[in-house]
Chains A and B, each alone.
Chain A
């Protein structure tokens, strides 16, 4: 597990020039050695959370959704908050792997594989919540336009159906992108492993890849095409999630700023989560050299920028509420800041807008404990942003006589913890099962790997 060599994914960041075989050894090490006790502790914690969530879900399905805090008028509650939160977390991965690829940002090489995996796990977690939210997840087949005995089709003019298409497309395309990137690495692992069982598994999943340059030629084109498609896709997914709210006529939801505001927020929270997980993982697995401090600093800069976009959106919402002269709209926003849920609103503003301003200072951007805390706060803040949007808006709608106050129950909180458990369990298992850094991409950017023409 101890990785002595100091190799880099970014020639301009690290001075050492590692050999190709040492790159193989370093990245394959977590797959070939017994994990330390720290690994099992991490797995134990996340597994317990997952179990808690599973038990809470089991109760919810057996006894019904009356175990949750959902009420009239707050019919969309914690499950939808969690859904939007986790879809948002998933956005950083595709941003890193596709958008930064198109912009030729080489610092993405070291973290792209990991971020893509986190995207897939976050979208899996997110995708469960609309099903959980229905209370009858076994009827979810009716979400898809499949011919059925009722001769009914889904309603294609509903944003909820757009969501089904957006999230499932996002999951599929992210998975294909991730798998295509894995094939050459799996071939490398196939050729180096000594274990018979692993050999069979790697042989099946590497599809007999043979590093041919006649193949690489098409492969690089495919990678470019996938990045080109994934870029508008990632922007569309959270746009469509925001349509779930914006297309309705509820004051506080019915605003055109929602799509860009949601996308910025998604990238913001996604980067915070990737940064958090990478800090822990590089510590547990001693891979501080792969995921360097410079990379983390760049991620903090992205968080600073997107955090300010989110802050700007908060401001513009208020400006429009006042400027439009619509009393309902003004009331909703006044209620957010000073109403029953003011506590949630101020948690959101302080975590998302105020604390992130610390990233203006280079010392803080490069200080791991402080950036970790800020990352956690950002995710707390972004979770509360969705809480404020969903719950404070619904709790005081058009008719004052039907206003209500929503409180999550213990089961709700258990399901939330379970979602973290699922996500982190998948992340922790991934670390031991597959190369967390793209071997072929790292090799390609090491100095001296490429032929000198002329």
Chain B
């Protein structure tokens, strides 16, 4: 029982010249009821799984499950992208055009099943990579790699007895019997997360990745040929034009023309007449007020303030306009305010080209709502 004291012993192994002797020994081990033992050869030995009474490999089921996962993933991907998220009508076919998705489903099935099964076998069933196994780099394994077949009985097997095993090996004609020990260093080694080498490695990776990302996104993409979309023979908004005499790239409408969706404005320069004759065609429904609020916030609020109090957000770059809650504006008719939007007033320019007719009237209704909120009458609070 000296081996029991030697806690470093992993297994006793024997090398055989021919697989026939080895098979005989394997049968003996099975009959004796050993459980922790293994056969090593640099190629698969036929019939051995049966002798070792190994269970049928479950990899077939693994492949089935992974393959079906691939099919379903493909089905979901094609269905969701083509039929739900971004529908494209192609040749008048239905959005869920199953026959056209079959190639992709097939490829994803094969991809997931084959790659996944290989990964499951190597990394989950075999628990590789494992270069710290006692057999790794042992003389025993090196001889197996060349031309021997080997068999080992591990020391933690319940029936393991050092002397018995060694003599059995001799009986069955092993050419060499070896003891395989755990490597002290390998047992003592514990991988640590905060190991300096590892931290340095992470830092280097992080620096390289960010440097690459920065250079690629900010420098490389602006060099030829990657900048091919940036140089185009067209006038960009706000840019200079050599073609027009005034040097502006952006043009105003030609005199006497009316843009689509717009109408000629008959009250140019006649604010009072506009105030009398123009009538707001909209009712202040929820939708209209929502539209008015959106447009007011976009176009009016930078100067007039969120609530029309004349509290500009422009930090004095432009003079602040008067409040929309003044007596004067409250008493103006809708048409009078409409005229201001169309023609501008004092320093305020015309907003006719930015807003459609409906939007102007909706903004006015929103301004009315704002005015009423700050100057509420008694009957409003009911």
Contact = CB atoms under 8 A, between A and B. Distances in A.
A binds B: yes
Interface of A: 19-21, 24, 61-64, 136, 138, 145, 151-157, 159, 161-162, 165-166, 169, 172-173, 176-177, 180, 183-184, 187-188, 190-192, 203-204, 207-222, 225-226, 229-230, 232-233, 236, 240, 243, 439-441, 443-444, 448-453
Given A176-B114, A221-B57, A450-B19, 7 more contacts: A173-B110, A176-B118, A187-B145, A190-B145, A210-B135, A225-B114, A451-B47
A173 B133 contact: no
Given A219-B44, A229-B114, A449-B19, A24 B146 contact: yes
B45 A208 contact: no
Contacts of A444: 43-44
Interface string B4-25: 0000000000000011101100
A214 B145 contact: no
Contact of A136 (B42, B47, B93, B228): B228
19 contacts: A20-B146, A24-B146, A62-B225, A156-B101, A162-B104, A169-B107, A169-B111, A172-B111, A188-B145, A192-B146, A208-B131, A210-B141, A213-B52, A217-B48, A218-B121, A229-B63, A233-B110, A444-B43, A452-B20
B114 A230 contact: yes
Please list the 3 inter-chain residue pairs (A to B) with the smallest Cβ-Cβ separation, ordered nearest first.
A20-B147, A191-B145, A444-B43
Contacts of A218: 57, 59, 121, 125-126
**Residue of B85, B132, B141 with most partner-chain A CB within 10 A:** B141
A453 B47 contact: yes
Contact of B49 (A161, A162, A217, A229): A217
B303 interface: no
Given A153-B81, A210-B135, A225-B117, A217 B104 contact: no
B204 to A, nearest CB: 19
B226 A451 contact: no
Given A152-B86, A192-B146, A208 B128 contact: yes
A217 B103 contact: no
Contact of A448 (B18, B130, B142): B18
A157 B110 contact: no
A210 B97 contact: no
Contacts of B224: 62
B331 to A, nearest CB: 49
A184 B107 CA distance: 28
A452 B48 CA distance: 11
A212 to B, nearest CB: 5
Interface string B53-66: 01001011001000
Given A208-B129, A236-B106, A444-B43, A155 B135 contact: no
Contact of A222 (B117, B133, B136, B144): B117
B142 A192 contact: yes
Nearest to B130: A208
A215 B38 CA distance: 10
Contact of A165 (B81, B100, B103, B113): B103
A145 B77 contact: yes
B203 interface: no
Interface string B218-243: 00000011101000000000000000
Given A173-B115, A208-B130, A451-B48, A192 B43 contact: no
A173 B67 CA distance: 13
A225 B104 CA distance: 20
A167 B43 CA distance: 32
Contacts of B114: 173, 176-177, 225-226, 229-230
A210 B43 contact: no
Contacts of B57: 217-218, 221
Given A208-B131, A211-B42, A449-B19, A156 B118 contact: no
Interface in B16-38: 18-20, 22-23, 38
Given A188-B42, A207-B128, A217-B57, A240 B103 contact: yes
B56 to A, nearest CB: 9
Nearest to B224: A62
